[in-house]
Structure 1
Amino acid sequence: MRKIISFILLGFILIWTYNLFINNFIVLEEVEEEPYKGIIEIWDIPWAIKGNNYGWLQERIRNFERRNPGVYIELTQIDEDSLNSKIKNNNTLEDMPDIIPVNSSFFNSNILEPLDEYFSKEELERFKHHILKSTTCNDSLVAIPIGIGTNIMYINLDKFHERGISPPLNGNWTYEEFVNILNQLTYDSDEDGIIDEYGFIASIGAKDYNIWGIILSDGGELINPKRVEYNFYGEKAIKGLEKVINLKDKYKVVPDYFGIISEKDAWEMFYKDQKAAITISGAWASNFLEQLYSSGEGFNFDIVNYPMGYKDLPVALSNDIVSYGIVKKGDPKKTKICVKFLKYLTNESNQKSLEKIGLFTVKRGIKDMYTENIRMKKIEESLPYTEYIPFVDNWTEIDAIVQEEIRKAILGEKASYEAIEDAKIEIDKLKNQN
């Protein structure tokens, strides 16, 4: 009898063990999700650089495809206006690509997947915090930043030396020092009674933030960082705008067409015609000028910070963040592989490779970029002074309004306080319409 009972107990233990462990293990194996295999579509717009960003991205795509068999990524270049038109006119997201470029002008974050759940706290901590703020909308991460640039002042050292002028020590100067040097760099070179050499030139217009480092140097804010709202009004805003107006009206260190000249023409006036000793452009311009100088066609140049005002710190304003969002398609497996690809672009190796195209890392702790390029290293050291445009509702319309009012003030069509007040009135109307 004992043998029978023992046999029954042994059988029960074996069956119980099978059901508890082996059978559960088999079930787990059966429900394990296969990774996505198929095509991922990416649309991309030209980056704010003059390097081969398309080639950089293509190389990363090929490497990712090798690491993820069965995944194929189709990259299509498109201009920003066409991208915006397709987003507005597409009735279904199924006709949209899977990954699209996202910047502060992006107007429909509702079509983007919230990405917070795909990142651990530790992963998010590795990003530069102020960069993530510019890819966050309504407290949700809607885009993954890949690389950044900034705006910076470039000076023609040959012209400085010709006039016996020393560049600002350590690249820092006050607004008063800046104006004093501009006065010395503005003159009639052929003595015909007409000024033909100018100290400074820069462009003004929608989505153009070149001169804003001067405008914001006294503590004014284009956007309040806490409320993430338009905030350019008040005494500090007026004082900052008058600093730019005075370059033309009071100090006469810019040409009469300052306020009208396009970004392209301002840049050519500096590097090609060499009729302006100082200008403002993106980080990409450093490598461009370096190549010209090395070929014997350019001039010796250097990098300096924006002139300091009341804040006692240089300020730069930029929209140069390369970032991508994932379009909502209702396919979790596809979303995961898209996130995996964008994460891949932010790994340390790929971030360091941004050095090849004149961009900077979005990650913290990567310190050994541009160690052999002194000028690019200077730009990298200026990045903490850069304020990036975040997501703001109706930003394209707001930007167009304020930039046009700034232009009118510089052209003498309005007083500084009138331009700022009129911009606020129009922007308030825009807010009330929504």
Structure 2
Amino acid sequence: MLRHLSIASAMTSLPRLARRRLPSRASLALVVAFVLAVALTLPGCLRLGRPGVTIVLWDGPRWPDETGNRYHWVQSKIEEFEASHPFVEVVLVPVEWEDLRGMLDEAKNAGQLPDVAPFDISAGGVTLEEVREGLLEPVESFISAPDDLSPQARAAYTVDGTLWGFPATMTGHVLLLNLDLFAERGVEPPPGGRWTWEEFLSACRALTFDRDGDGETDVWGFATYVLPGYYEVWPFLYAAGARPLSEDLQAYTFDSEAAVAALERLADLIFEEEAAHPSTGTASVGTIFDLFADAERQEVAIEPWSAWAIDYLMTQDGVIKNFGVAAYPFPPGASSAGPSGEAATQPVTVGATAGFVVFRQEDPHRRGVAMELADYLTSTSSQYELARGYHAFPARRSALDLDPFAGEPAYERAAEIVFHAESLPPHPRWPEIERLIQRQIQMALLGIKKASEALQDAGEAVAPLLEDSEP
């Protein structure tokens, strides 16, 4: 029988006197410890000796059912799993996504880790240091059909050559196209959503025009913004084969010839070609989005966004509805380039992979059951369900082959692009490193510095962080 245990319900179980004695800002550590303690002592929820076992599962909210329940999907998966494992009980602890990392810290302090939880391996999820300290269980021997996974999704959960998680969904950046503007100017969208830089540049030129005949440009081919934590610009550099850090995370590498050339092309698009909106490079996220999406404005034809923007355009009023999706352009003279400069056959973008991890287990039997649960939650059928209900892009090719986005061409094309999204470097000081790099990229796109100077200055600013920390 599935147990659904919330912090709120756990708190109501506290003796009234104890609740009254708690200070108004009671430690989350106490709450976490109590939740897990209750999970392990409720009737029917004991950690049973073999062959029975209770597994504690954390998960976050997803799409609501007709009653507004945003945990219905994981509840149904638990029921299915328990039906096929009669001696297993799964206790669900629902956690808001933004609280996950804090909950983990408190659970570690309390010595009450969950068995399975939805974490990535990054500066904001489980860290490299925690992986190397043995917080997680390696999953290589337990995951089904690992060759079915996106190589980039697999890489996102791989540390020191070992796989530490079960990839489930992916997200990433794509180019959104205003197809009405393309039609107005007689510009053909890129076939299959793929194009070279030369084709992209030609389209941006043609889509930059004076609509009302007053001698002033009213519509531009391209626009984007630069802001810490947002990576719409970065796939242009990645597509050229550039990466911000070396594979061992020890050296800054965004000052390579490929990175400089890619950033120069973007700067030239703004200042030489004048085919990008003058707001390009600013931090004005809302303004940039409205230039593209506002049905009354439609002043920009092509903008890069994370895949959430597709949901927004599909569901909100007052925004354009006739839009398409394309990959970032491959660099000049090549169909694309991989991280080592080799020819690549797929579009390159930047994104993230989400999934489940299994925390360290002392008992082999419990370990096996926890692994089975994590594998089931990330199976082909589970990923298909998440794609259909949640528009989450699968990390398994077999789930994409089931055509979960049939009749939804924007999602379908985005899913193919995002299937190859590379995760950002999991450096422990990544937020600081990225902020310094973004500042210099912004200066280049605002015309304050040349691309070479900006990326070199970024390297000098980042160097002390790399020297003072060990990934």
Q: TM-score range, shorter-chain basis?
A: 0.7 to 0.9
Q: Does residue 388 of the first structure (1) align with residue 404 of the second (2)?
A: no
Alignment of 1:5-404 (within 5 A): 33-37=50-54, 40=56, 42=58, 44=60, 58-65=72-79, 67-68=81-82, 70-79=89-98, 83-84=100-101, 92-94=109-111, 99-106=117-124, 108-111=127-130, 113-116=135-138, 119-120=141-142, 123-192=145-214, 194-225=216-247, 230-272=252-294, 273-291=297-315, 298-310=320-332, 311-313=334-336, 315-328=347-360, 336-356=368-388, 357-366=390-399, 367-369=401-403, 370-383=405-418, 385-404=420-439
Task: Write the distance in 2 (CA, Å) between the matches of 1:364 and 1:169.
Answer: 22
Q: Could you report, residue by residue, the CA deviation over 1:381-425 in whole angstroms, capped at 9, with x for unpaired residues?
A: 334653333533422222222122111221222221121112212
Task: Write the distance in 1 (CA, Å) between the matches of 2:108 and 2:398.
Answer: 43
Instruction: Pick which of 88-97 and 336-345 moved more.
Output: 88-97
Task: Write the distance in 1 (CA, Å) between the matches of 2:186 and 2:202.
Answer: 13
Q: Relative to structure 1, is the Cα distance of residues 141 and 229 closer, same or farther in structure 2, using a 3 angstrom cutoff?
A: farther
Task: Write the distance in 2 (CA, Å) between the matches of 1:202 and 1:52.
Answer: 32
Deviation at 1:52, TM superposition (A): 5.8
**SS at the partner of 1:150?**
strand
Task: Write the distance in 2 (CA, Å) between the matches of 1:274 and 1:303.
Answer: 16
Task: Write the distance in 1 (CA, Å) between the matches of 2:440 and 2:446.
Answer: 10
Q: Does residue 418 of the first structure (1) align with residue 437 of the second (2)?
A: no
The equivalent residue for 1:27 is: none
Structure 2 residue identity aligned to 1:308:
F
Contact 2:209–2:217 at 8 Å: present in 1 too?
yes
Which structure shows the bigger proportion of residues in helix conformation?
A: 1
Deviation at 1:242, TM superposition (A): 0.7
**SS at the partner of 1:34?**
coil
TM-score, normalization by structure 1: 0.78
Contact 2:177–2:324 at 8 Å: present in 1 too?
yes
Contact 2:223–2:279 at 8 Å: present in 1 too?
no
**SS at the partner of 1:207?**
coil
Structure 2 residue identity aligned to 1:170:
G
Q: Please tell me whether Structure 1 or Structure 2 has the larger radius of gyration of its CA atoms.
A: 1
Deviation at 1:110, TM superposition (A): 4.1
Q: Could you report, residue by residue, the CA deviation over 1:160-181 in whole angstroms, capped at 9, with x for unpaired residues?
A: 1112222223333222332222
Task: Write the distance in 2 (CA, Å) between the matches of 1:83 and 1:262.
Answer: 29
Task: Write the distance in 2 (CA, Å) between the matches of 1:335 and 1:267.
Answer: 47
**SS at the partner of 1:391?**
coil
Deviation at 1:335, TM superposition (A): 5.2
Percent identical residues:
22
Instruction: Pick which of 295-304 and 401-410 moved more.
Output: 295-304
Instruction: Pick which of 65-74 and 83-92 moved more.
Output: 83-92
Contact 1:215–1:244 at 8 Å: present in 2 too?
no
| Aligned with 2:443 (options 398, 402, 408) | 408
Structure 2 residue identity aligned to 1:279:
E
Task: Write the distance in 2 (CA, Å) between the matches of 1:52 and 1:280.
Answer: 28
Task: Write the distance in 1 (CA, Å) between the matches of 2:159 and 2:286.
Answer: 32
Deviation at 1:328, TM superposition (A): 4.7
Structure with more contact order per residue of length (Cα contacts < 8 Å, sep ≥ 6): 1
Q: Relative to structure 1, is the Cα distance of residues 36 and 359 closer, same or farther in structure 2, using a 3 angstrom cutoff?
A: same
Task: Write the distance in 2 (CA, Å) between the matches of 1:286 and 1:161.
Answer: 20
TM-score, normalization by structure 2: 0.73
Q: Could you report, residue by residue, the CA deviation over 1:114-143 in whole angstroms, capped at 9, with x for unpaired residues?
A: 332573476433433331111122333333
How many residues align? The count is 395
Task: Write the distance in 2 (CA, Å) between the matches of 1:332 and 1:65.
Answer: 23
**SS at the partner of 1:164?**
coil
Contact 1:248–1:255 at 8 Å: present in 2 too?
yes
Q: Could you report, residue by residue, the CA deviation over 1:260-313 in whole angstroms, capped at 9, with x for unpaired residues?
A: 234444223211242211111233433543456xx8963322222212214422
Deviation at 1:241, TM superposition (A): 0.9
Deviation at 1:158, TM superposition (A): 0.7
Task: Write the distance in 2 (CA, Å) between the matches of 1:196 and 1:95.
Answer: 59
Contact 2:152–2:420 at 8 Å: present in 1 too?
no
The equivalent residue for 1:432 is: 467
Task: Write the distance in 1 (CA, Å) between the matches of 2:80 and 2:180.
Answer: 49
Task: Write the distance in 1 (CA, Å) between the matches of 2:69 and 2:354.
Answer: 15
Task: Write the distance in 1 (CA, Å) between the matches of 2:71 and 2:225.
Answer: 30
Task: Write the distance in 1 (CA, Å) between the matches of 2:184 and 2:149.
Answer: 44
**SS at the partner of 2:94?**
strand
Deviation at 1:206, TM superposition (A): 2.2
Structure 2 residue identity aligned to 1:105:
A
RMSD, matched Cα: 3.4
Q: Could you report, residue by residue, the CA deviation over 1:5-46 in whole angstroms, capped at 9, with x for unpaired residues?
A: xxxxxxxxxxxxxxxxxxxxxxxxxx97233226x25264x8
**SS at the partner of 1:146?**
strand
Q: Relative to structure 1, is the Cα distance of residues 173 and 123 closer, same or farther in structure 2, using a 3 angstrom cutoff?
A: closer
Instruction: Pick which of 224-233 and 56-65 moved more.
Output: 224-233
Deviation at 1:354, TM superposition (A): 2.4
